[in-house]
Structure 1
């Protein structure tokens, strides 16, 4: 078993046919002040499994602070159905995480493990909002305006 896709985004769904729909992929959040509350983020994972992986697995997802402490921890069980022969199954997972409060700027990371084995790490950079120049926000990468949130998150911005 492995994780062949892991990312953060604004929204994601899995349709009845199993197709994964992802909107607004990001790896950085700008905040006007800290602690900063983010309204919603989605952690998207796709498990790639084979017949040998069938059975119940224990999953652990941790959001780790820049200082190495757990900010969020989710533990659960995954039931992997049998795949036929050498067939590969890809199982999309969408976790909606609402109202996470980030205490400080820095690089956070989601660490994903299955049966105690590290499978993926997804970094998330929290940084102070760029300063304004002449009343205009500083431009972000590729000329795009930066994304930043008020202390209450996007729902309260």
Structure 2
């Protein structure tokens, strides 16, 4: 079998991922790119990262790393080994992160590696929760 490096089709950060056993369909809940906290430093209780590789053939490994605004690593996943038997198949990797440290406001980066090579970077923002104005007696429809 000739080896062909796959492409990373997507990386999604969300609140939850469910995979239906009977159909292998993936349900993605609460996609986000900003995390709001009351104060810094903070810890985000739980998030999921879902990645999908496709259009490749052979055995590969992938790893996810997250960096804070200063460029320091705050999370490194274990390497995940996977096989794509044919170019027409795909491989989903869904990982739950519990207790992600957010020490400061700013842009954090999720990096995805394939065979130790950086193949994707996506940003997310850590922000202070906006102060809410006192409610007025108006009805609004959206």
TM-score (norm 1): 0.76
State the partner residue of 1:45: 51
Deviation digits for residues 12-61 of structure 1 (CA, Å, limit 9, x no counterpart): 022223211100100001111001111110001111133xx312x23221
- Structure 2 CA distance for aligned equivalents of residues 11 and 38 of structure 1: 14
State the partner residue of 2:58: 54
Q: Note the C-alpha offset of 1:109.
A: 0.9
Q: For structure 2, list consecutive stretches of 5 or more residues without a partner in the other structure.
A: 1-5
Deviation digits for residues 52-111 of structure 1 (CA, Å, limit 9, x no counterpart): x312x232211011111100111313121411xxx4212111111011121001010110
2:84–2:90 CA contact under 8 A, matched in 1: no
Answering whether residue 82 of structure 2 is matched by residue 108 of structure 1, we say: no
Match among 70, 78, 81 for residue 78 of structure 1? 81
Q: Note the C-alpha offset of 1:3.
A: 1.0
Runs of 4+ in 1 over 3 A off after TM superposition: none
State the partner residue of 2:13: 8
TM-score (norm 2): 0.84
- Give the secondary-structure state (helix, strand or coil) at the position aligned to 1:104: coil
State the partner residue of 1:66: 69
State the partner residue of 2:98: 98
Q: Note the C-alpha offset of 1:135.
A: 6.3
Ranked by relative contact order (alpha carbons within 8 Å, sequence separation 6 or more), the top structure is: 1
1:42–1:96 CA contact under 8 A, matched in 2: yes
